[in-house]
Amino acid sequence: MGSVKDLRHLLPPEYKNREYGTVPPDTTREPFRWVSEISYKNVHRIVARGYDTTELMMAGYGLVDVLFVVFQSRIPTIEEAKMLDYILIMALEDGLSSPAVISRIVAKSNAILTQAAAASVLAFGHTYGAFQDFGNMLNNYLSRAEKEGKTLEEIAEILVKEIPLDKILGVSDLCLKDPAPKRILRRAEDLGVAGKYIKFIKEIAKAAQKVGEKPIDVDMLGAIGATMMDLGFSPEATWGIIAVTRAFAAGAHYIEEVERGGFLKYGQTLTPKELYDGPSEKPVPPIEERNNIAKPAVCRTLEEWKKAITERQKLYGSGWKALASQLEENEEK
């Protein structure tokens, strides 16, 4: 290989003054830019799906109307707007549930309110509000019913056999004493906005009640999810709308937490030994004895692997207990 000096003839002249960019711009297509059919804004107005939002407001339309405009590009009927308003009021506050608690925890660290509200939206996770999976489940089985020529009752019975009752079924024992789900469905029927999805979730409940060992009925996931989809919102839009609606209440929880409890300084929080149930305290071994007490993780046989997995699954906070649950589910299938 030649020296650096030998390669100098390969460099272009005036290397320090070279033109930046080695690939000429592609003139056969437009340069990249953000494009959206949702909205645009200038110094005079904001336009969403073709509607001037100020003019919408001045004409008497409200927030729920504009949600239909933004997500569906249409002005809803009065009945649809009333139904969405009903759902959002039901979804806005849920007591000290996960999103509210997360907002309060963030508040203690002297974060600003919007950070706490954003954290509450992030806490609106898969288990807590699985509107996306629930809605896609309904669409998949309705599509299957159409292709196979099955009635809602028939496809609901198939669905219940194929999906465990403790999953995103929209039917459970969570709301047996809570009238809210039934009121949502009844309100949709009274307003004339109940359609295929509400009929389907009712059939799912009937099918589940036949095979379940304990009383079950449509829960809030099922009632809200089915109604929102009968209003024309996608599963993804439903999840986003409900989560952000809950963030309004999370802001109030942030304010209350700050007013009642104040902030915590870094390192101020202490946890007593009474709240610890891990291994008993032990002396730190001298570094020279490390090889005598260290236990390698490598497993060289299936028997070693099985024994190691069994031991690891006893340890909380390791992630191995989650594997145990997954293995149990696979065995059941």
CA-based nearest residue to 305, from 286, 322, 323: 323
Whether the Cβ atoms of residue 56 and residue 65 lie closer than 8 Å to each other: yes
Whole-angstrom Cα distance, residue 172 to residue 219?
A: 6
Q: What are phi and psi of 42, to 5 degrees?
A: -130, -170
Share the mean pLDDT of the chain.
87
Whole-angstrom Cα distance, residue 284 to residue 303?
A: 31
Whole-angstrom Cα distance, residue 121 to residue 118?
A: 5
pLDDT tens for 177-206 read 989 999 999 999 999 999 999 999 999 999
pLDDT tens for 2-24 read 555 566 566 666 666 666 666 77
Taking residues 203-227, report their average pLDDT.
92
Is pLDDT at 143 greater than 90 in this prediction? Answer: yes
pTM for the whole thing?
A: 0.78
Whole-angstrom Cα distance, residue 104 to residue 253?
A: 6
Whole-angstrom Cα distance, residue 117 to residue 125?
A: 14
Whether the Cβ atoms of residue 289 and residue 281 lie closer than 8 Å to each other: no
The residue with tokens 């056999």 is 161
Whether the Cβ atoms of residue 144 and residue 157 lie closer than 8 Å to each other: no
Taking residues 129-141, report their average pLDDT.
91
CA-based nearest residue to 207, from 244, 156, 249: 156
pLDDT tens for 108-125 read 988 899 999 888 888 877
Which string of b and e fits 243-253 if b means at least 16 CB within 10 Å?
bbbbbebbbeb
Query: Position 279: which residue type?
Result: P
SS3 state at 172: strand
Identify the bridge partners of residue 47 per DSSP, sorted by sequence position. Answer: 40, 52
Instruction: Please state, as a whole number, how many other Cβ atoms lie within 10 Å of the Cβ of residue 159.
Output: 22
Q: Which of 14-23, 80-89, 166-175 has the lowest mean pLDDT?
A: 14-23
Whole-angstrom Cα distance, residue 30 to residue 233?
A: 33
Sign of CA dihedral 78, 248, 90, 153: positive
pLDDT tens for 27-57 read 888 888 888 999 999 999 999 999 999 999 9
pLDDT tens for 242-294 read 989 989 999 999 999 999 988 887 778 788 888 888 888 988 889 998 888 88
